[in-house]
Structure 1
Amino acid sequence: MTSCFSYRYACVRCAAPQSWGAIRYRCHLCGQNLRIQRKVNGEVPSARDIVSTFRGRGMWRYRALLPVESRWGSRLVVGGTPLIDCGDDGGVNLWVKDEARNPSGSLKDRATEVVLAVAKRAGCTHAVAASTGNAGASLACIAASQGMSATVVVPTSTPFVKLAQIRAYGAKVCEIDGTYDDAFEIAERMADDAGVCCRNTGINPFTREGKKTCAFEMAEAFDWCVPDWVVVPTGDGNILSGIAAGFLDLYALGITSAVPRLLAAQADSSNSITRDWQDDDEDTALPQSPTVVSPETVADSLSVSRPRDHFAALHALRVTRGACVALDDARILAASQTLARRFGLWFEPSTAAGYAALHECLATGRIQAGSRVVLLGTGTGLKAPQDFDSVAPGHLQDYAEAVPRGIPEERRHCRGEGQT
């Protein structure tokens, strides 16, 4: 089945095709990010034939739809994470895709697994990435399994727990007195050598290919009948564009008959994509450069001043008829406690932003009662333990009473230590 497909690069903005072979990062005409374009060689395979190839566990189950052979993958099991049925929540049927079960504790492992498989095939011996924590931990983890050295460039504000995790896997940590965007540019320059792979989110097109597999798993869990909405915590925009690409792939191949709507969740101070989406007009071209913001948020995974997959993220929202919501830190932290105490799911604040965004859209009527909704749980709460108890009790009480309407009254007022 793999031989039925061939691949090439194409620009996400100008659509200019670019030759396959060496790892490429940017369009040679306009400088925008690239995407991987699949072409069918010969007779188009049926949806049934493609699905029949889905065997094994983890994300390599979908090897027929990935642009690199599974033999180049790591020894770790990435993907195959559970979809947890949380029942009725505020009138919607809620499921949570628990990506905290990946080897380094976050969804970023899906991207890294494909990126380093491609790097291994290309003969790279070193990998580098800019990160606020999760991507760096993921790179360090999977590079160790691949026997590849790695360097992670991080701002000094990166949480200690995430730095400890990166160092535990043996990667070199380069801390800079600057922002994530500064780290991004430094890491990109480090990858000038052909033997070095740059894993930077957005500019490495294979990050999107890895994240597609999360959409494949969600669709398969619903027996190829997709949910109404998928809630995606959004910083750089690469998870958003990757999830959209996965669902669009399945639709184009005839495996599914619909594409879910995507809800992008951002932090108030890191709301570049939200602002540009609100200013978007469907009759005009998408903005070519992002609005630059000054992030200061507890959701460090979403803390980006200039989203690096901006254009592809806005395109993902447009083609899925999506929406974008930004939340303040108080609501994000309160949502984190609600997820943990109601469902037994402790995620880092970025996921909580998604949960708060869901209930914001329920309150405004954007998401209707009875909808089937999947919340993407992007990373474990163990990556941000310092944030869990920082929410003020008053905020938690207000949020618990206003948002999780499905909690029985007798439970809603039990807020003593260990009581819910």
Structure 2
Amino acid sequence: MHQKITARSLTCACGGNLQLMQPLSVAPEALRQSLQDATPDKRQRGMWRYEALLPVAAKWRSHLQVGATPLLDLGEIQGIKLWLKDETRNPSGSLKDRASELVLALAAAFDIDEVVMASTGNAAASLAAIGAAQKTRVTVLVPRDIPVAKLAQIQAFGAEVHRIDGPYAAACKVAGDLAQARGALNRTTGLNPFTREGKKTCALEIAQQMNWQSPDWLVVPTGDGNILSAMAKGFADLKACGILQRVPRLLAVQTAAATTIAQSFDSSLQGGAPETCADSINVPDPMDLQAAVQALHHTDGQAVVVNDAEISEAVIQMASRFGVFLEPSSAAGYAGFEKLQQQGFFAAGEQVVLLGTGTGLKDLRVAIAAAESQTQPCLHPDDWQSLATPTAPFQEH
């Protein structure tokens, strides 16, 4: 008989997020051979091909394919090799699906019929989508200023949605109280350690896609810090198993409106913006602060702060230069890379992987503003010949 999992049992007495540890069920070499198995069945299982490194059995997974997202080769920029881990290919369009998939598998394994969470949008949409697939009741609390596209996505998946008249921190408080009152599992990021276990599969995939090598840098858009700590956990697990010789250095990118993790790591970093277009990483009081800062220290990492002008430009650059449409919170990673690259921060020959955490279709405000500023007058059909000659030669952005 399994012990009933409650919202209270998943939090540490210190108030931080628990760190899950589990014994490896197979020898490292056998594990590596298993992970290299590229049969169609293994590929279709997505993140569950790493079952040996996960705390829940794959038999509880949903019918959706979460994970197995591509690692895109973006070419070289001044001698630096750039890659993008494109998490927009997940079922709800974000990396958060990895966490929701694992948490809902846990709920299925323990016969829990409701999962509650607070979210700025992406995690709630993810939980709602996979909850629908798993036939599990999902209740989400979101801040009042959630982007309408994310709210519509959550509601389309059939979740019970409540907008809270306050910021994300207020939604977190309500989610915790509600989970306790209903006896539900609280999936809120930074409070549920299983979210880290799900997200770490992204790191496992990156290592495998790079032929069991680590990039020099992994660039992580950072809000509450859970993705940052999860990437560190995933690479550390592979190193502990003897599969990797080293782990990548982590680069945390924060918006100037929410710099707590960056400033906790490096007090010289400045923020101070009153608001931001990057809503998903706008977390002034990060739930996974301690683990995120530890991840930066343990990987000899770095942090950088970017403003909205830099983020907005990154949205357009990622789309027009590489053909990948990212939401502002996700494009912040490229903005941080560009900022440091222009300062000569990266060494020639280094390999840098960006995390593309969410699709641009989740938040169109920046793209719409850019489109409206470039809108041309309507052309009469009879005047089409004026278009026969391009006004300027094609140039790479």
- Measured against the shorter chain, the TM-score band is 0.7 to 0.9
Matched, 1:376 2:360: no
Where does residue 30 of structure 2 map in the other structure?
Answer: 49
1:1-150 aligned within 5 A: 22=5, 24-28=9-13, 30-40=14-24, 45-54=26-35, 55=37, 56-57=42-43, 58-150=46-138
SS in 2 for 1:264: strand
Partner residue of 2:288?
309
Shift of 1:383: 0.5
What amino acid does structure 1 have at the position aligned with 2:336? A
Structure 1 gaps of 5+ residues are 1-18, 281-290, 395-408, 415-419
Q: CA deviation at 1:184?
A: 0.7
- Mapped to 2, the partners of 1:294 and 1:363 lie a distance apart of 22
**1:17-416 superposed matches below 5 A:** 22=5, 24-28=9-13, 30-40=14-24, 45-54=26-35, 55=37, 56-57=42-43, 58-193=46-181, 195-279=183-267, 296-390=275-369, 411-412=394-395
Shift of 1:39: 2.7
Aligned CA distance change for structure 1 residues 154 and 393 (closer, same or farther; 3 Å) = closer
Select between 270-279 and 186-195 the one with higher mean Cα deviation: 186-195
Instruction: Please tell me the residue identity of whatever aligns with 2:329.
Output: S
Other structure's SS at 1:256 match: coil
TM-score (norm 1): 0.83
Indicate the structure with greater helix content. 2
Judged with a 3 Å threshold, the aligned counterparts in structure 2 of structure 1 residues 27 and 69 are, in CA distance, closer, same or farther, namely: same
CA distance in 2, matches of 1:247, 1:293: 33
Q: 1:188 to 1:59 in 2, by over 3 A?
A: same
C-alpha separation between the residues in 2 aligned to 1:355 and 1:330?
Answer: 13
Return the letter of the residue paired with 1:234: T
Deviation at 1:31, TM superposition (A): 2.7
Cα distance in structure 2, aligned partners of 1:262 and 1:27: 25
Q: Deviations over 1:199-237 (max 9, x none)?
A: 100110000000110000000001101110010000000
Contact 1:362–1:369, Cα closer than 8 Å, also in 2? no
Residues 16, 288 of structure 2: 8 Å contact kept: no
- Structure 2: which 5+ residue stretches go unaligned? 374-391
Change over 3 Å in CA distance of 1:251–1:410 after alignment to 2: farther
The residue type equivalent to 2:343 in the other structure is T
Partner Cα separation in structure 1 for residue 271 and residue 267 of structure 2: 14
Identity %: 49
Letter in 2 for 1:241: S
* Number of equivalences: 368
- Map Cα deviations across residues 172-191 of structure 1 (whole Å, 9 max, x no partner): 11011100110011011111
Cα RMSD, aligned residues only: 2.3
Give the whole-Å Cα distance in 2 for the aligned partners of 1:20 and 1:260: 37
| Kept after mapping to 2: 8 A contact 1:112/1:207 | yes
